[in-house]
Structure 1
Amino acid sequence: MLWGEEDARGERWRIDSYDFTISEDIGEIQLIKIEKHKYWYKDDWYCRHITLKTPTGDYLEFPCYRWITNDKEVILREGSAKLVTHDVTQIHKQHRRKELEDRQKQYRWKEWHPGFPSSMDAHCHSDLPHDIQFDSEKGVDFILNYTKAMENLFVNSFMHMFQSSWSDFADFERIFVRISNTISEYVMQHWQEDFMFGYQFLNGCNPVLIKKCKKLPEKFPVTHELVECSLERNITLEKEMEQGNIFIVDFYLLDGISSNKTDPCTIQYIAAPICLLYKNLENKIVPIAIQLNQVPGPENPIFLPSDAKYDWLLAKIWVRSSDFHIHQTVSHLLRTHLLTEVFAIAMYRQLPAVHPIFKLIIPHVRFTIAINTKAREQLICECGLFDKANATGGGGHVQLVLRAMKEFTYESLCFPEMIKLREMDNKDEIPYYFFRDDGMKIWEAILSFVGDVMDIYYESDQAVCDDSELQAFVKDVFIYGLRDNEASGFPKTIKTKEKLVEYITLIIFTATGQHAAVNFGQYDWCSWIPNSPPTMRQPPPKEKGVVTIEYIIESLPDRGRSCWHLGAVWALSQFQDNELFLGMYPDEHFVEKPVKQAMAKFRKTLEDITSFILDRNKNKKLPYYYMSPDRIPNSVAV
């Protein structure tokens, strides 16, 4: 089946199927070659697959899923997945070598910024190989999408007052109430309440920072006397920690990060708070102490729920702003987008299309290189859209990625280990951590599916060790993609089936469940500006008892930056047109029946998880659905 990109009349996506009959005996089919005549106008065609019926009545499938252009031919193998050790004919060995040689010329590593994960060598989206470009670049143009989002949200009318402050909290509602959204409206109504503040560390759009606190750091000198009125069990703070009731979130990565200076008319500020949280008798996680910077002292007081109303509210707002910065730059950009691109580039460079791991991974890297290239072109580049509203714009976001790169590890990307590292795995102690519960179900489903597929092709650990293409893929990720970062703990080789299954599961989970969890809740949780300010225009208070409502309003983003922020979180929370969700594999890269059976089993597991989550969410004022399989796209594409 061939899909035409554009004909002479400008008609796009004309779909045709062609039948050919060959009467003479041509012997055993080794390869199929496709080429097209060159025309005077752009006339690229997309070939899905070729089906060959043999004289005996058997059918052979030749998957393609590539663009046929004027300047090159495409040579296809029959669709059965083969490891390099399974090929015996010279023609097949030569074909897979030639395919990788050609790909390595097309897919080249590039250092976008020193210290970042390596990325695709492309200045703009149109420089990318045709096979990995978006069908329509217009659909992922950040500037167009932000403009469209602001039109949809009716916020353009505020842009002429770009640097003016809002009048009060109610004033924010003017740009907010146009769109009906259950969670965002609930946030607007309850954002000042301590339970809502704490809940977001569990099930908001950045549920990856909170950890159990067994011992207070010296830089955070909270005493029992300070927080005694917040403790409900009539035991000491030390005992509460021993019993697993105290949690901490530390934004130390933000300490000393340069604030945005791209607009000389507006001074912007960044803090690096530490927040102590408590599980009360209702099993709700609530804040009990906040220090707004890392070094304790008279000008860095510890704010408490018992303080004056606006002192405590502003302290929480500062934490929410800091959480927004870490979420956007570390949890979202680095740990899903940039890492998935590393896996994608290494896959194209080291795994031929006939390799089972290529067939398994390719649906989960669809459009990732393209969206990241577009982001480097328009979003996170110098003077990009990121600078318009965010305090970490103008270079602070780059500093933040560099710091996070020194700390991120392979272990922390394995979902069960990430939860254990933060000691958040005990369901009895922390019963309402839906991100953890649903994430574990998704991880286990992917792990089982990957295991079923790998069992088909790798009969032993030795088969894993002998797969030179797999080992080259893993090495390329480590050496070039991650810049030979020993501290990351990423493997340089894989020697067992168990480790291989975990490694591929990590790749797929990062691109699917993890990205969905930190991306698609952005409008829900960040659209109410006071709950997630992208910038602060007044410095953190250095003493108690001086904060007024006017000071808070002057601290929050001005009208123009609020509008840019709202447009951004709206645009980033939307699914792509014709989105493919987890378990959907319309492109049949695999032709073997056992793999298709494994896919069917995987889909059934995902359907059960979806039903469970749907049932759990019934009648909930704050439903958690970001890890529901029917809302998890197959790849990082937005």
Structure 2
Amino acid sequence: MGDTITALVLLSSGEKACVCFVVVFFGSVFSQSMPSSYTVTVGTGSQWFAGTDDYVYITLVGADRCSQRTLLDKPLYNDFERGAVDSYLVSVEEDLGELVLVKLEKRKYWVHDDWYCRYISVKTPAGDNVEFPCYRWLVDDKEVVLRDGRAHLPEDDKMSLVKQHRQNELETRRKTYRWMEWQPGFPMSIDANRHNDLPRDIQFDSEKGVDFVLNYSKAIENLFVNHFMHMFQSSWSDFADFERIFLRIRNTISEYVMQHWKEDFMFGYQFLNGCNPVVIEKCTKLPDKFPVTNEMVAISLERNLTLEQEIEAGNIYIADYEVLDGIKPNCTDPCTLQYLAAPICLLYKNTQKKIFPIAIQLGQTPGEDNPIFLPTDAQHDWLLAKIWVRSADFQHHQTVTHLLRTHLISEMFAIAMFRQLPAVHPVFKLLIPHVRFTIAINTKAREQLICECGIFDKANATGGGGHVQLVQKAMKSLTFRSLCFPDMIKARGVDSKQDLPTYFYRDDGYKVWEATKSFVSDVVNVYYTSDEKVQGDEEIQAFVKDVCNFGMQGFDSCEFPKTLKSRDELTEFLTVIVFTASAQHAAVNFGQYDWCSWIPNAPSTMRRPPPHKKGLANVTLIIDSLPDRGRSSWHLGAVWALSQYQENELYLGMYPDEHFIERPVKAAMEKFRKALADISSAIKRRNEGKKLPYYNMSPDKIPNSVAV
């Protein structure tokens, strides 16, 4: 072969110099056939700062051989701009065989410039297109090696090259995604103290958008309540005083709550469709600690039955906040004492099948200093008792229902997924949209919100460490079955639509659960053709074991599965993960502004102790018990900020990142979207004309993941 001269040419292209190699051939080389080429198409992300000015190199790895490491660069052209799709030719002397891997490398140009690659698509000389999903950041000088877009179980990989790649990916992930115990007795979390310490792939695109301090301050300003902050510890004058802050924050439900919050119907309705619709249970026997008699409540009963007969007929319900008993109230501000209660509330389903409160005890231990308040008591005694229940419900909602049972649990599933499932695994592809930004939002919360002296301490009665105690206590009753929506509903005895026809949280939740379970089952059955395949998948078994033994710290009481033996068990396990991160979180998060912005309906703290006898309450005592102006402002900022959807939100069933390329899975996705659209339409029709529409479980308002 004749001589070959390679000249290095530097060309100025926009903001960077482009390197290209000019190859001049002499002699007999001209008689050789021209090398074949692969067309490589590169998609850059459209989020902020996704583009790069760094050098990007690619190596194509086939079953037979590899291409040369090739610089992807077009002279006089600015490559890899945000949202760009760029194509390049990669020349090879011989065919590479079946394409197996793509290796991407990024090298610094002037300074390190992170790059988000969406995908690599390769057209072979034979005309075949091979997709390599990426959806990852390339940072510093680190490289990324990608598998093609087909999902593979461990048993599918026969070639040593791909087996080694699979093992290397998991070994790297386990070093990157490490477990950490943030507080004793909590589900394990990510080993990172700050958002910026997280792996780049799971950070927010813009940290500014989820800065709690910034967002809450902005919310307070937008709500026109910042002028109250200079009177931080002063009380409101009367209930009308609260209405002033509604000049800027009214909406359909919040205004209706403001107008009707004192009514027993509104009080009872919230146990079904408010922010915390998971506490109410059917009462089959009055607990000894709650000695309500028939004489006490007979006037409230409408069927000419005794209390015992009403219980037997299934018309009595109970809400017990025992988990709050013994929790230390916030004392971060020594100038203002704050108080907590652990009330028990008895509820009655009347002849119109509406729920009304008929008895309230504000402590767990009966006695003369812990009276049972009744609707027949003086107006302000009964109102104050209901306010105490609403305050307890707010604490339970924020810390147990919302923080623990959606945020922390979803993070735990996410960490185990990253540690045990490679990107090529079908379950990783299924779950990755449903853990989007979850670890990031939780890390940010630990950094600013629920940490010592964080925002939680500024307004909430369980701030200052009470929220930690509450999570630790609630963990003892958290079981896997309680995360399965139908089981949770049935265990509380509220599964009958005939008994509770307006329990929309239950009805809509059932529909979304079944649609989600059907979708998950369809995907599972594409890859697992038998139960034996589930049993033999060591990565899935390691994932489930990691969740139980490390994420849940091996607590026997949690009853999380340690192994999965069938496709049905795998389907249920994955449905719990997807449903918790999407529908359940949406149901308990996005209604906070609706139900909690009218502060007397959801006091974040109480500044007077629970009344120990009747006849003490009046308007002054109630106002002095409610949060002061400053804490009210922080509370409003919190429920406003937490109820806002993210920009470019991805709702349930929206999967713009194409991790799957198989047609059966794409068909399952389309079927899922159709089912969700039908549910949304049915909910919209039901809500028409309602003064209290319920839409928190409507799929078009359910984000894919816990991201706020």
TM-score using structure 2 length: 0.89
Aligned 8 A contact 2:344 2:360 in 1: yes
Alignment of 1:201-280 (within 5 A): 201-280=271-350
Cα shift at 1:486:
1.2
In structure 2, C-alpha distance between the alignment counterparts of 1:15 and 1:626, rounded to whole Å: 33
Q: Does 1:18 align with 2:120?
A: no
Cα shift at 1:176:
2.0
Hey, what does 2:60 align to over in structure 1?
Answer: none
Cα shift at 1:174:
1.1
Hey, what does 2:509 align to over in structure 1?
Answer: 439
Cα shift at 1:485:
1.0
Which of 605, 612, 618 pairs up with 2:682?
612
Q: Does 1:467 align with 2:537?
A: yes
Cα shift at 1:281:
1.1
Hey, what does 1:5 align to over in structure 2?
Answer: 50
Q: Does 1:480 align with 2:588?
A: no
C-alpha change, 1:305 and 1:467, in structure 2 (3 Å) is same
Hey, what does 2:629 align to over in structure 1?
Answer: 559
Hey, what does 1:506 align to over in structure 2?
Answer: 576
Aligned 8 A contact 2:548 2:560 in 1: yes
Deviations 1:383-404 (A, max 9, x none): 1000000010000000000000
In structure 1, C-alpha distance between the alignment counterparts of 2:475 and 2:247, rounded to whole Å: 39
> What is the SS of the residue equivalent to 2:255?
helix
Aligned 8 A contact 1:5 1:43 in 2: no
Hey, what does 1:579 align to over in structure 2?
Answer: 649
Alignment of 1:138-537 (within 5 A): 138-537=208-607
In structure 1, C-alpha distance between the alignment counterparts of 2:412 and 2:338, rounded to whole Å: 33
> What is the SS of the residue equivalent to 2:98?
coil
> What is the SS of the residue equivalent to 2:82?
strand
The one-letter amino acid of 1:2's match is: T
In structure 2, C-alpha distance between the alignment counterparts of 1:212 and 1:13, rounded to whole Å: 59
In structure 2, C-alpha distance between the alignment counterparts of 1:431 and 1:230, rounded to whole Å: 21
Cα shift at 1:607:
0.3
The one-letter amino acid of 1:245's match is: N
In structure 2, C-alpha distance between the alignment counterparts of 1:407 and 1:381, rounded to whole Å: 24
> What is the SS of the residue equivalent to 1:276?
strand
The one-letter amino acid of 1:42's match is: H
C-alpha change, 1:13 and 1:627, in structure 2 (3 Å) is farther
Hey, what does 1:122 align to over in structure 2?
Answer: 192
> What is the SS of the residue equivalent to 1:36?
strand
Cα shift at 1:36:
1.3
Structure with more strand by fraction: 2
Hey, what does 2:179 align to over in structure 1?
Answer: 109
Cα shift at 1:6:
5.9
In structure 2, C-alpha distance between the alignment counterparts of 1:415 and 1:191, rounded to whole Å: 29
The one-letter amino acid of 1:242's match is: E
> What is the SS of the residue equivalent to 1:234?
coil
Alignment RMSD = 1.3
Aligned 8 A contact 2:44 2:81 in 1: no
> What is the SS of the residue equivalent to 1:47?
strand
Hey, what does 1:542 align to over in structure 2?
Answer: 612
Hey, what does 2:694 align to over in structure 1?
Answer: 624
In structure 1, C-alpha distance between the alignment counterparts of 2:610 and 2:592, rounded to whole Å: 25
Identify which range, 29-38 or 334-343, moves more after superposition: 29-38
In structure 2, C-alpha distance between the alignment counterparts of 1:53 and 1:314, rounded to whole Å: 71
Deviations 1:290-317 (A, max 9, x none): 0000000001000000000000000000
Cα shift at 1:23:
4.3
Higher gyration radius (CA): 2
Segments of 5+ residues of structure 2 without an aligned counterpart are 1-42, 55-78
The one-letter amino acid of 1:509's match is: F
In structure 1, C-alpha distance between the alignment counterparts of 2:407 and 2:389, rounded to whole Å: 24
In structure 1, C-alpha distance between the alignment counterparts of 2:352 and 2:265, rounded to whole Å: 10
> What is the SS of the residue equivalent to 1:115?
coil
The one-letter amino acid of 1:21's match is: L
The one-letter amino acid of 1:54's match is: T
Segments of 5+ residues of structure 1 without an aligned counterpart are none
Hey, what does 2:18 align to over in structure 1?
Answer: none
Deviations 1:480-516 (A, max 9, x none): 1000011111000101111000000000000000000
Q: Does 1:635 align with 2:705?
A: yes
Deviations 1:534-584 (A, max 9, x none): 000001111111211100000000000000000000000000111000000
C-alpha change, 1:54 and 1:602, in structure 2 (3 Å) is same
Aligned 8 A contact 2:53 2:80 in 1: no
> What is the SS of the residue equivalent to 1:226?
helix
Hey, what does 2:65 align to over in structure 1?
Answer: none
Q: Does 1:34 align with 2:34?
A: no
In structure 1, C-alpha distance between the alignment counterparts of 2:357 and 2:96, rounded to whole Å: 75
C-alpha change, 1:2 and 1:12, in structure 2 (3 Å) is closer
The one-letter amino acid of 2:289's match is: K
Cα shift at 1:15:
2.5
In structure 1, C-alpha distance between the alignment counterparts of 2:453 and 2:510, rounded to whole Å: 39
Deviations 1:71-121 (A, max 9, x none): 210000111000001111001100000000011110000010111100000
How many residues are paired up? Answer: 637
C-alpha change, 1:12 and 1:187, in structure 2 (3 Å) is farther
In structure 2, C-alpha distance between the alignment counterparts of 1:564 and 1:176, rounded to whole Å: 15
In structure 2, C-alpha distance between the alignment counterparts of 1:16 and 1:426, rounded to whole Å: 53
Deviations 1:456-487 (A, max 9, x none): 00011110000000000000001110000111
Identify which range, 547-556 or 27-36, moves more after superposition: 27-36
Deviations 1:576-597 (A, max 9, x none): 1110000000000000010000
Cα shift at 1:56:
2.8
